[in-house]
Amino acid sequence: MENPDAADSLCGTTLEARVDERTTALRKANEKLQKEIAARHRLEREILEISEREQQRIGRDLHDDLGQRLVGISYLSHQLANALEASGAPEAKQAAKITALLNDALALTRSLARGLHPVAMKSGGLKAALADLAERTSGIFQVNCEFCDPIVEPGLPDSVATHLYRIAQEAVTNAVSHGKATEIRIELDSRPARTSLAVRDNGSGLPRLSPRRKGMGLRIMHYRADVISGSLVFSTPENGGTVVSCTVSANP
């Protein structure tokens, strides 16, 4: 006759073995998932870094090559306009118009170069870059875009500062292009433990989109926030408009 106690003991041992086996399998699956997530984050970071380096290269080329060529052509055009005017030639006005157009092209080239290579820590850092973004936005789009200047420059690595700038740049572009905003405020709050960026506008607010329908710009903003371990939040105040905020710790 079979011993009931022995049978119970065998069942218990078998159950424990199955639990241990299942636990081990779950642990291995979780470890694999964590490695895949870490690998994806590394890939996202590398893609953004490559993109940033390429934008900076294009910005330098615009400034150092095309910009300098336009400076030379503008100088020659100005000299020609003066000579034609001095001789009373009727072509003087046309030459002056050409000079003005060249100066406009030079200003646009410099603006594009600054937008592509904005955060130079040795020449004002993130504060100066955001102030320049506000000024250029006001001038190009004919809206009131202002920058709330913090008392101190955030002590952030260049890469983190650049990602914050790109987030602000995309938020401003969305406010003008999609939200049809006329008032935009860029805020930077730097404290010992963290730095917060906020872009506020009086536009039409955020559309309700499913994750699959989010635009490339919004997805890249999230990627950038993830890369710097930041918290990115989109909100719509009661009085309308949109607030895009990103907070990073002092040691991202």
Tell me if 50 is assigned to some domain.
yes
* 87 and 167 co-located in one domain: no
**Whether this model's pTM surpasses 0.75:** no
* 77 and 158 co-located in one domain: no
Query: pLDDT tens, 75-94?
Result: 889 899 999 999 989 898 89
What is the phi/psi pair of residue 119, to 5°? Answer: -100, 95
Helices (H), the chain: 4-61, 67-86, 92-116, 125-141, 158-177, 216-227
* 36 and 141 co-located in one domain: no
Three-state helix/strand/coil letters over 133-182: HHHHHHHHHCCEEEEECCCCCCCCCHHHHHHHHHHHHHHHHHHHHCCCCC
Contact partners, residue 66, CB within 8 Å, separation at least 6: 109
* 103 and 186 co-located in one domain: no
Domain span including residue 202: 137-252
Look over the chain and give the mean of its residue pLDDT values, rounded to a whole number: 83
Looking at per-residue pLDDT, the higher value among 184 and 47 belongs to: 184
Contact partners, residue 215, CB within 8 Å, separation at least 6: none
Q: Is the pLDDT of residue 3 over 80?
A: no
Domain boundary among 65, 84, 117: 117
C-alpha to C-alpha distances, 35 to 91, 139, 220, nearest whole angstrom: 70, 47, 22
The lowest-confidence range among 96-100, 107-111, 208-212, 232-236 is 208-212
Tell me if 106 is assigned to some domain.
yes
User: Residue 112: what pLDDT?
Assistant: 78
Our count of domains for the chain comes to 2
Domain boundary among 58, 89, 117: 117
Query: pLDDT tens, 60-75?
Result: 777 777 888 888 888 8
Tell me if 130 is assigned to some domain.
no
How is residue 140 written in tokens? 């190009």
* 109 and 159 co-located in one domain: no
* 169 and 249 co-located in one domain: yes
Tell me if 103 is assigned to some domain.
yes
Tell me if 10 is assigned to some domain.
no
Domain boundary among 117, 151, 176: 117
